[in-house]
A and B are shown apart, each in its own frame.
Chain A
Amino acid sequence: DAGVIQSPRHEVTEMGQEVTLRCKPISGHDYLFWYRQTMMRGLELLIYFNNNVPIDDSGMPEDRFSAKMPNASFSTLKIQPSEPRDSAVYFCASSPNTGGKETQYFGPGTRLLVL
């Protein structure tokens, strides 16, 4: 398996622009997680899905952030409009549903820089 795939790997954009991050989870995994990593705040869970349904979005910082999972093999995290403080590495992770003993597998991350 190719593992969790994220695109783009790097994104540089100007403040106010829309940013869309993409994630393809490992085939067969029922859970998908979006994380943000910064020096100041460490690793934060933004939102996670189970069987394409958002379960907990309490970590989404504000309304500028939205996430969708239209099918089992694809998810997007959108920031509109983007701000410099959104600069971070965004990780997607997936895990199988194994009765509560799931291990999360992380993608390579998208390094976002908002100027």
Chain B
Amino acid sequence: AQSVSQHNHHVILSEAASLELGCNYSYGGTVNLFWYVQYPGQHLQLLLKYFSGDPLVKGIKGFEAEFIKSKFSFNLRKPSVQWSDTAEYFCAVRSNTGKLIFGQGTTLQVKP
């Protein structure tokens, strides 16, 4: 069965620190990969997505993610976080049936 694993459940960083959130998926076929963000009290919003082509994907707000097929990974990165990046981050893979499989989420807390 397809699954998504996010290794970091809770991350605390100071402003200007670099961020990397891990995401690994299990699926042997062609994958569509997503990172969603959920700010406190709000709904999920798409940060970035990968379908094909350049494995380094740029998203909104300075986020990027790299698809490494050999490692089944799609880690999210940001060189310098801000307090406003405090949120919960979800990695997801789209299955061949069309539905999204979400990871458990990573809560990021950025200290000002």
Instruction: List the interface of chain A (C-beta within 8 A of B).
Output: 31, 33, 42-45, 48, 50, 55-56, 91, 93, 100-109
Q: How far is the CA of A31 from the CA of B100 in the complex (A)?
A: 12
B71 at the A/B interface (Cβ < 8 Å)? no
CB pair A45–B100 under 8 Å, yes or no, is yes
- Measured CB to CB, the closest approach of chain A to B23, in angstroms, equals 14
Q: How far is the CA of A44 from the CA of B100 in the complex (A)?
A: 9
Instruction: List the interface of chain B (C-beta within 8 A of A).
Output: 32, 34, 36, 42-46, 49, 51, 90, 94, 97-105
Instruction: Pick the residue among A48, A55, A91 that contacts B44 (CB under 8 A).
Output: A91
CB pair B43–A43 under 8 Å, yes or no, is no
- Measured CB to CB, the closest approach of chain B to A99, in angstroms, equals 10
Instruction: Pick the residue among B42, B51, B98 that contacts A108 (CB under 8 A).
Output: B42
Q: A45-B100, A91-B44 are in contact. List 15 more A-B contacts (CB 8 A).
A: A42-B102, A42-B103, A43-B90, A43-B102, A43-B105, A44-B102, A55-B97, A55-B98, A91-B43, A100-B32, A100-B98, A102-B94, A103-B49, A104-B46, A106-B43
